[in-house]
Amino acid sequence: MTHFEPISPLSVLDPRDRGGPVQPLLTIQGLKKYFHSAGNSWFGAQSVVRAVDDISFVIHKGETLGVVGESGCGKSTTARLLMHLIKPDQGEIIFDGEKVGIDIPLTEFRRQVQMVFQDSYASLNPRLTIEDTISFGPRIHGMYESKARLISHDLLARVGLDPSRFAGRYPHELSGGQRQRINIARALAFNPRLLILDEAVSALDKSVEAQVLNLLQDLKEDFGLTYLFISHDLNVVRYMVDRVMVMYLGSIAEIGDGETVFSTPVHPYTKALLASMPSMDPDQPTREAPLSGDPPNPINPPSGCRFHPRCIMAEAACSQKRPALETTRHKKSMAACLLQNRDTPIPFPPIKVSGQ
């Protein structure tokens, strides 16, 4: 095997540079995205899908922020908005104190923020070898081909693939886990500061998933990365994240310290989401779902709190006033619930998370 000098993971920019470690790496303010569909009437009236509706949050340097919620809650749309794969209708994206598209050009922002998609095969060009796939981006941005190929071989080794065996292969010659390692290596080719992982391990079997998760943890430390981690698997999220954000119908229901949200959730939707996890105890099987029905139609969302039609604690005020995110009593999270400070316990089944 040919020996290559490893690249320095922090050679471009240490995550503590620029605004300092206290300043958030990414700040989202009032982000909105509405999709307009053609109307069915003769007058051409349009319907509006509120995919992401006025959300604000921050991602701190060096942390992993997890995003969870039912399908259709806006998780992937949020990720694509952050990458500007789709254009926001409203809101600001601030990267380390600089407004994206104003203070920092979009091309420079995309060099520092990369994304790993769920479908490992569809996100790779079937006509490019693995070596060309990883080196393509740096070469397009002006790097000499010899150096780009050197980096591609080094990154292959870093994600656990022998360059002498895999550099010349094509995507169809690899397994799903190997392809996802290639996607991770390609994302690291620009030495980014933030990595967006959109269901990056959901298509892998459990043994391979565990290997990739451990790889991501190692790479985060080696490269000084910050992660936005999107997943349906709550056990994986609990293992990976420092903080967690729970989304419901395009808005944020609860956000805060990961262990706090998992152990003492405040929002009724968060409680129901965690209680819906399959029981791993054969003596205490899950006998009925703690949350029934589908989320409301995003074209015509409920007034007030969007969760109130499915909430067993809902009161009249819940249908009239949309709650804002407020700090909870334990001060480690924020929840958007008018009843969060009530002493009345929420009558969901005890929350059991596998591994406890």
Q: Which residue has the tokens 């007030």?
A: 304
User: In angstroms, rounded to a whole number, what is the distance separating the alpha carbons of residues 195 and 163?
Assistant: 23
DSSP assignment letter at 217: H
Is the CB of residue 244 less than 8 Å from the CB of residue 65?
yes
The torsion region of residue 189 among left (phi > 0), alpha (psi -120 to 50) and beta comes to alpha
Identify residue 199 by its one-letter amino acid code.
E
Task: Identify the three-state secondary structure at position 101.
Answer: coil
Is 50 exceeded by the pLDDT of residue 79?
yes
**What are the pLDDT digits (tens) for 244-268?**
999 999 999 999 999 999 999 999 9
pLDDT of residue 2: 34
Asked if 230 and 76 count as a contact pair (C-beta separation under 8 A), the reply is: yes
* C-alpha 85: how far from chain center: 15
Report pLDDT for 12: 40
Predicted confidence band of residue 296 (pLDDT cuts 50, 70, 90): confident
Q: What is the mean pLDDT of residues 313-324?
A: 88
3-state secondary structure of 144: coil
pLDDT given for residue 88 in this prediction: 94
Judge whether 347 and 272 are in contact, CB under 8 Å. Answer: no
pLDDT bucket at 39, cuts 50 / 70 / 90: low
Report the relative pairing of strands 26-37 and 90-95 from DSSP bridges: antiparallel
CB contact at 8 A, 209 and 201: yes
- Whose CA is closest to 59, among 108, 32, 13, 96? 96
CA–CA dist 223, 221 (Å, integer): 6
The pLDDT tens digits of the residues spanning 108-139 come to 998 999 999 989 899 999 999 999 999 999 99
CA atoms within 13 A on the CB side of 41: 5
Q: What is the mean pLDDT of the chain?
A: 86
Alpha carbon 291 to chain centroid, angstroms: 24
- Catalogue all structural domains in the chain, each as residue range(s) with its CATH number: 26-241 (3.40.50.300), 244-279+301-356 (no CATH)
C-alpha–C-alpha distance, residues 62 and 83, integer Å: 19
Q: How far apart are CA 196 and CA 183, in angstroms?
A: 12
- Using one digit for the tens of pLDDT, what is the confidence trace for 165-211? 999 999 999 999 999 999 999 999 999 999 999 999 888 888 899 99
Instruction: Write out the H or E segment, with its range, that includes residue 243.
Output: strand 243-248
Confidence of residue 42 (pLDDT cuts 50, 70, 90): low
Residue 213 has pLDDT above 60, yes or no: yes
Which pLDDT value is given to residue 11? 37
Distance CA(321)–CA(62), nearest Å, equals: 36
| Number of Cβ atoms within 10 Å of the Cβ of 149 | 20
At 68, list the tokens.
Answer: 């969870």
